Amino acid sequence: MSEEPLQYLPVERWGELQRVFRKDWTRGVSGYAVLDTQRRWLANGMETNLKIYCPYGDMQNGMVAFNEKDSYYEIIIQCPSDDTSKLATALRTTKLIDWKKSVKVPFAPRNVVNLLYEIMDDVKIEVEEVFPYDTHILDTTELYKDVRLPDGVTFKHLTTEHLNLIDSTWPYNYPSSDTYFEFLINLKYGYGLYLNNDLISWVLISEAGTLLHLYTVEEHRRKGYAEVLLKMVSNDLLKDGRVVIAYCVPDNYNASKLYIKAGFVPAEDVTWIYFRSK
């Protein structure tokens, strides 16, 4: 038996792990969505950098997925069980994680957040930044039937023509975030509403399969454009058999009201945590 506690999970078994997260609903929705999206990429002949491991080879112990990019070492950590003890032990003893690097853990559910705080001293890390998010999901086979484009407005995929506008309005942009948005746009993972060929509202789908950067240009707000866009994009995703997931910061009341009005239901909150070495 290998001494390394994190055991590699081959791509051929990702569907099994996806089903494990589906049974841990709604806490498992983020783990489910990232696996669903990455499996779709592979089925379409695309590449993925994601490498997935399970503590001691048991999917019930959770998922540790490496997705290195930019200046941060991104590690997706999810657990479909209230008992996180084996996952915690694996994180303490693994040689696969370099805790001396800056580590980003995205969309961590509460059970994972608690265990990360528990092991911090053991792996000699400290919190650099914490970003909590509310989660809203649309998990249905029913499409919206009440969607109509306003006069003069068209709905279509984003192009890189508006890349600077999209990147500059994202509150979390960083030096290479434009490259990230360009990547998603080229994948046809961006949607927009256009008024007389001017982009007025947009949203993208992240590589984790979640809605990203839903935004309406200031002078076109309070006209219902975001709701129309949200419903049209959701219909596209639902037709494809996907769950629609939206994260928003807890004090973004307008976004939360929009999702609830559109029929999304609240799910367990998640947290983005950035760690640095002590």
Which DSSP category does 150 fall into?
Answer: P
Q: Select the CATH number that applies to the domain covering 153-242 from these four: 2.40.50.140, 3.90.660.10, 3.40.630.30, 3.30.830.10.
A: 3.40.630.30
Summarize pLDDT for 4-24 with one digit per residue, the tens.
Answer: 999 999 999 999 999 999 999
pTM for this structure? 0.94
Residue 17, token pair as written in the block = 């792990």
Fold match flag (6-135+270-277 vs 153-242):
yes
Distances in whole angstroms, Cα of residue 152 to Cα of each of 149, 200, 203, 229, 232? 8, 12, 19, 14, 16
In the chain, where the domains are located: 6-135+270-277, 153-242
Least confident among 45-49, 50-54, 162-166, 203-207? 45-49
Summarize pLDDT for 51-110 with one digit per residue, the tens.
Answer: 999 999 999 999 999 987 665 689 999 999 999 999 999 999 999 999 999 999 999 999
**Residue corresponding to tokens 């970003």:** 131
From CA 245, how far away is CA 266, in angstroms rounded?
10
90 with 64: CB under 8 angstroms? Answer: yes
* Domain 6-135+270-277 bears CATH identifier 3.90.79.10: no
Summarize pLDDT for 159-198 with one digit per residue, the tens.
Answer: 999 999 999 999 988 888 999 999 999 999 999 999 988 9
